[in-house]
Structure 1
Amino acid sequence: MKYLIVGLGNIGAEYAQTRHNIGFRVADALAERLGVRFETKRYGDVAVGRVKNAQLVILKPSTYMNLSGEAVRYWMSTEKIPIERVLVIVDDLALPFGALRLKTKGSDAGHNGLKNIAQLLGSQAYARLRFGIGNDYPQGAQINYVLGAFSSEESAELPQRIDTFCDAAIAFCLEGASSAMNRFNSK
């Protein structure tokens, strides 16, 4: 079975350590765990690895966050991966820092990357793994917060949280969405 695991983020050094790029960071950690390297290809950086009987195509779109759907649609088509085997890893302001929510479908919750993916796929029925980034910012400062770096306390916890997200992504592929949701959504 082949799966498309998409870590959302923005390309460029200025975005690398931001909250908005947590999807890229989880994708990097997942590729490292599988012992594979990213190659720059059409619409993004791609790494392909295996876990047991699952082949994981890990994608970090180069289209910028708000146009992520182009990359997702292209790689789904190129690799012939159906929507039920797509997992998008994304930051979420509505969840406390480090919280994990795996869902098989749902709204974009105001996230422009998810909105574009749904638009171009013509469906909301793709799985998303939401990484809580919290919402500790003054009114009107959402953009600066999302495009800001994690606090030193959060940064200290990131490696363990990212590791758990990698576990959840692998469980999605090996056990199925239902089992993975039962195991990881309660943590």
Structure 2
Amino acid sequence: MSFLSKIQALFSPKPALPSANWLVVGLGNPGAKYESTRHNVGYMCQDMLIDAHQQSPLTPITGYKALTTQLAPEVLAVRSTTFMNHSGQGVAPLAKALGIPPERIIVIHDELDLPAGKVRLKMGGNENGHNGLKSLTQELGTRDYVRVRIGISRPPAGMAVPDYVLEPVDHDQPGIALAAEAVDIVVEKGLSAAQNSIHSR
């Protein structure tokens, strides 16, 4: 980039950020290799929400390691363009720029400690070895964000966890549709209402 180009870029107006009061974050790894794996059920759920709300596909947002699309007037779907282990690098700077507090960030992710298809919601808590959550906690500076946990169960005896979570599954994996419903309820009625509705199923 030439000196003149650098000066022009410095003084050019930055693209306007989208409007949002909530961020809905799907965790996963980018690329066709990981597209249909257990570790990517967060992506799958987010895709289902985008389709259900008839919104445009996720697109890059200038200056951030993230893809976004509007789910509703004040709800922004966000996906980090990094790999799972660095998810926070794509989410935290955007949340800060938008002024969205952690308690209004909804993170959809796979959960080994729940039976396959079971969905549970909570605010905060330990990361239980989940590297995507560890990155979010580190970059946000808190554990107090909403978790929508999609159960994938533990691997069978003798199978390593990394091999298990990166094993392909169907896109209609149990729990994904229920998790999408949970996200909508959290936004519309709050976490307690979503827990009351989802945890009884």
Q: Which amino acid aligns with 1:27?
A: Q
Q: Aligned partners of 1:67, 1:136: CA distance in 2, in Å?
A: 24
Is the radius of gyration larger for structure 1 or structure 2?
2
Q: Which amino acid aligns with 2:107?
A: V
Q: Aligned partners of 1:39, 1:77: CA distance in 2, in Å?
A: 19
Give SS of 1:108's match.
coil
Contact 2:27 2:43 in 1 (8 A): yes
Give the equivalent residue in structure 1 for 2:60: 40
Q: CA deviation at 1:138?
A: 2.7
Give the equivalent residue in structure 1 for 2:177: 163
For each residue in 1:58-106, what CA deviation from the matched residue of structure 2 results, as whole angstroms up to 9, or x when unmatched? 0121111000111120221122211111110010111111110100111
TM-score, normalised to structure 1, is: 0.90
TM-score, normalised to structure 2, is: 0.84
Q: Aligned partners of 1:174, 1:165: CA distance in 2, in Å?
A: 14
Q: CA deviation at 1:179?
A: 1.0
Give the equivalent residue in structure 2 for 1:134: 153
Q: CA deviation at 1:137?
A: 2.4
Structure 1: stretches of 5+ with no match in the other structure: none
Give SS of 1:6's match.
strand
Q: CA deviation at 1:18?
A: 0.3
Q: Which amino acid aligns with 1:171?
A: I
Q: Which amino acid aligns with 1:120?
A: E
108, 118, 124: which one pairs with 2:127?
A: 108
Larger proportion of helix: 1
Alignment RMSD: 1.6
169, 173, 178: which one pairs with 2:187?
A: 173
Q: Aligned partners of 2:184, 2:90: CA distance in 1, in Å?
A: 21
Contact 2:155 2:161 in 1 (8 A): no
Give the equivalent residue in structure 2 for 1:82: 101
